[in-house]
Structures are given as C-alpha cells and as structure tokens.
Structure 1
Amino acid sequence: MSGVIDAHVHLWNRATDPQPWIDPATMAAIDRDFGPGDLARMLDETGSDTAVVVQAGNSIAETRRLLAGSGPRTAGVVGWIDLTGDAGAQLETLGTGARRLVGLRHLVHLDPDPAWLHRGDVGVALDVLGTRGLCFDLVVRSWQQPLAATVAGEHPGLRFVLDHLGGIADTADEDGWERGLRSLAARPNVYAKVSGLAGIVTDEERLRRVVGVAVEAFGPQRLMYGSDWPVACLGAGPVDWRTAVDDLIGDLSTAERHAIMSGTASACYGLGA
C-alpha cells in the first residue's frame, strides 16, 4: 500500500442529499450519485489508500449518513453542524458514529452573511471544536481570507484547514490571493489543502506558481494533498491531478513529499489516533 491519504473527497446520494448546484448541462461529468464503491475505484486509480470525506451540504443528516456509510476506505469525515447553535449538544447526537468525525465545515463562501465566520455564537462553537480535538475546514473565496486569518488568530487552540488554497482557481486577483494566503499561513494553527486545482492543470505556469507560493508560505508540514473528487472530474480529473501534484513536489525531499501526501493530513486530523 502507498500510504497516500487523499484529504478531500465528496460522496453524495441525491435521493437523500440533493445537490442543486450541479448543472446537468455544464457538469454532466458529476451529474450522478457517488458512493463508497466509486471512491474505492478512484483511490485505486490514483494510487491512494484512504480519504477524508468532506460534507457537500450544510446538513447534519448528511453528516450522520457519511459517518455511518462512507465505506472502509474512509479515514475520517469532515461533517457539518449548526455552529450558530449548541455545538456540544449537536455533537452528542452523533453517537458512536462521531468516532469517525475529524472535523467540521460550513459553506462559508456561499453563506449570505459575509461576516458569518466572525459571529459571536460561531466563535463559541469553534472553541468547543478545539476542546474536542476537531478541526474546522475553511472553504472561502480569496477575498474572505483576511477575515479567516483574523478568526484563526482568535482561536489558537483550534486547527483550521484551508480548502483549495483559498479559492485561487476562482479568482483573477492573484496578488490579493497571495496576501490573504500568507496572512493565513502566518497563523501556526492553520493548515492548507493542495486541492480544488484540477481545473487549472492545463495552465502549468500558473499552477506551478500558486503551489510554489503555498509551499513557501505553509511549508510541507502544514500542506496536504486532496483530489476534490468527484468535482475534479470537471477539470483534469483525479488521475491527472495526482500526476500533476507528484510533478509539482518532485523537487522536495522524501520527508517533505511524505508530509504533503499523508503525514500532514494524518497529524492534523488525528487519523488513526
């Protein structure tokens, strides 16, 4: 076995968890359900062992289903609860399935409240996550990175994980993105995923530049590989993305490559602990 951990994948069954954001006309490649069997095949194709399954909707019911039925190749689940409510009480309702829960995420980039991350009740809930050893995944656009950095600084006891390098694939303002990324990297409790970039694999120069910035800012010990499958199928696909990552980090030492491909995710999320 390779020991590779894919730190960012999704599973969905639209009969129980609709995905209204999927446009059948422009997203035909992912206009279907994806289950544990599909995940296992993708992991085999990309030479990966296990994966962290991440919520696709703000739904505690989805979280319960992922905890119960995401399959044997799932190393952990990043789920969702309502962080404006009683986080501790909600976590208790997850029962024994919570043993697979390694973190939580809220679709901050889609929330109508631009200051959601800085709400007082959310801050209380984030501290609860920290005391329970859970992480909080940040799915934000580049313009939201400064606020995310402020929040991370206010909760030093919680590990934050920046998904998709802060939305670089969705912005043309690379200077602003880089400033925001570096502000997050300055917080020692913030990690980042080299994920969500399969759509820009064909722009090799840009891809190499942005990943280079991330490696310099965070260092391999705070970076982790993720495919963002099945969304990656809208771009180069998970296999080509894995090939691109191997090339991008090819000049790093063996220990540094190991960190990005498995060690960071294992340590940050407490996988196998």
Structure 2
Amino acid sequence: MNGAPAGPAPHTRPPRRPVPAAPVVDAHHHVWDLSVRDQDWITGPAMAPIRRDFGVADLAPEAHAAGVGATVLVQTVTVPEETPEFLALADGSDLIAGVVGWTDLTAPGIADTLAALRELPGGDKLVGIRHQVQGEPDPEWLLRPAVQDGLAAVAAAGLAYDLVVLPHQLPAATAAAALLPQLTFVLDHLGKPPIATGALDPWAGHIRALAARPNVVCKVSGMVTEAAWDAWSARTLRPYTETVLDAFGSARLMFGSDWPVCRLAASYAEVMDVTRTLTADLSENERRAVFGATATAVYGL
C-alpha cells in the first residue's frame, strides 16, 4: 500500500482516565480505650452506644470507605498522659496525620512541655492543642492572663489552637483571636449552635464576628449531635452550614466527622454523605478546600 500508514481510528483510542479525587482529610475524630482511662463524660442511657472502646482499627474501614486518606486525632480528656499516648498511636499509623493534644495552658513551663512533646515518638505529628473551654464556668476563661500566655506559647511553637466552646463563649474567643493574631484558632463543631431548637441567633451573630478575625478557621463537624439525634436532616443542618460558609468562606472551613461521638446520631458514612450534600453547590476547588486543603494547610499535615 502506498502512502503513510493511517493512524488509529477514533474508536480504537484508549479511553481517557478520570482524574482521581484528592484524598479527603477528616480533621476531627477521637479514639479511647476505657481499660486505660475512663471517659467520665460518657454517662447515662443515651450515651450507652459509645460507652465502649474505639480504636484506629475500628475507624480505618469506615474512613477508607468514605474516601478519607488522612485524619486528625483530637484530645478527649484533660490529662497530660493522653497526648503522648496519641502521638505514639499516630507514629504507628498511616491514617493519622496529625494530633491535637492537651497540655495545661496556665503552667509556667508550657513552652518546655510543648518542646518535650515534640521530641516524643510521633511528636512530629503534633499539630495543635485543645482545652475543654466548654466546661469552664467563666465565659471569659480564654482572656485570663495566664491562658493568654499559654496561647502565645502555642503560637510560638508553630501549633494551632482548637476552640471547643459554647455559643455564649464565642465573644471571648473573638477577643482572644484579636489579641493573638499570630495564633491560628480552629473552631470546633461550628461553635456548637442550637441546631435542635432551630434557632440561629445569637449564635450566627457571634460567628460572623469571630469569622471577621482572619486567623480563625472553622470545622464543619459535630452537627448531627447538636441536632435532634433521631430527626436531623440536610434541611435542618443547612442554615448552619450556610451561615459558616457565608462567614468564613470555603477556604477557611474543614470537614470533621467527630467519630465516634457522631455515632449517637449517625454513622460515619451518613455524616460524610450529608456534608457532601450540604456542599454540593460549591465549586470543585471549594469542595477540595473543605474536604482536605484547608486542614492540610492549617495543620501542616
């Protein structure tokens, strides 16, 4: 046959491979072993479904099935022993990319304590510190001078600070963020809005004031347990996600499952599904931020 050989017919070309989705980061989950330490907040019949041990081996299949490739393990109790345990656990895990631990913010030697934690096995995965501010009776606990000194030490160590607060404590969180612009604050669980009642104010106003501080980001987490456990839906959660999307923007939001606490109201898969539903109108880049890029950047995963 004369002439150059013909190229392959169009129907013989290999199909284009779809670009794989970026791995999802679950920026907020817990584990506990009741034989090591009691979780004294898990009390009463309603909490019975989570009054048992939960480990990484329980989490991994659920997380992987939801497309999660990395997680952030967050403190549960205010004892110094827990953080080294979590760091050691993360050191042996391909799933846990970061640990938000606890240390006494008011201790004079907090800078040395943070440095010592960094030297432990898994210490390179320490990405933040958290205290159960929601349990403090003083609504301005975050503004105490000793606490402010501790938060400054957290910032100096290159760590973030997770805020677990109730709505009435949000103004103090806003003031703390203004006083410490060098520290990145991460608001857990949208600041625990009253989803079960359907009320938005004054929570929404406090959220907008907090979001005006550029050093604050927010976790889209913990919603199903702030809602009515047996009656939540995307419709009941949407006003709260829309509020934080409007206030923070997608670039300052990150997904968190709050597993296994979420199991009181929803499975891991259900939490992921409803969060995807609530963010379905975002662009691809915006969803990438919520489901991984923000957490990766903020925590340095």
Alignment of 1:93 onto 2:116: yes
Say which structure is richer in helix: 1
Cα distance in 2, alignment partners of residues 59 and 104 from structure 1:
13
State the partner residue of 2:9. none
What residue is the counterpart of 1:83 in the other structure? 105
What residue in structure 2 maps to residue 16 of structure 1? 36
Instruction: Provide, for residues 43-62 of structure 1, a one-character-per-residue CA deviation record: whole Å limited to 9, x for no partner.
Output: 12322111100000112200
Q: Which residue of 2 aligns with 1:106?
A: 131
Q: Identify the match of residue 169 of structure 2 among 144, 150, 155.
A: 144
Q: Which runs of 4+ in 1 moved over 6 A?
A: none
Give the AA of the match of 1:184. Answer: L
**C-alpha distance in 1, partners of 2:141/2:222?**
23
Mean Cα deviation higher: 235-244 or 260-269: 235-244
1:115 lines up with 2:126 in the alignment: no
Tell me the amino acid that sits aligned with residue 176 of structure 1: P
Q: What is the correspondence of 1:123-138 to structure 2 with a 5 Å cutoff?
A: 123-138=148-163
Q: CA RMSD in A?
A: 1.5
Distance 1:103 1:12 in 2: 19
Partner of 1:156, secondary structure, is: coil
2:72 is the counterpart of 1:52? yes
Q: Do the aligned partners of 1:51 and 1:76 also contact (CA within 8 Å) in 2?
A: yes
Bigger drift between 215-224 and 236-245 goes to 236-245
- Aligned to 1:202, the other structure's residue is in SS state coil
Report the more deviating stretch, 178-187 or 125-134. Answer: 125-134
TM-score, reference length from structure 2: 0.86
Q: Give the percent of matched residue pairs that are identical in Structure 1 and Structure 2.
A: 42
Structure 2, unaligned stretches of length 5 or more?
1-20
Contact residue 195 and residue 237 of structure 2 kept, 8 A: no
The corresponding residue for 2:8 is none
Deviation at 1:133, TM superposition (A): 1.2
d(CA) in 2 for partners of 1:153, 1:15? 41
Deviation at 1:27, TM superposition (A): 1.6
Contact 1:169–1:197 (CA<8 Å) still a contact in 2? no
Instruction: Say whether the 8 Å CA contact 1:24–1:31 is kept in structure 2.
Output: no
* 1:179 to partner: Cα distance: 0.7
* Post-superposition CA distance 1:227-264 (Å, at most 9, x none): 00000000122211100111111111100000000000
| Structure 1 match to 2:282 | 252
Paired residue total: 271
Q: Quick check: which has more Rg, 1 or 2?
A: 2
In the aligned structure 2, how far is the partner of 1:113 from the partner of 1:147?
10
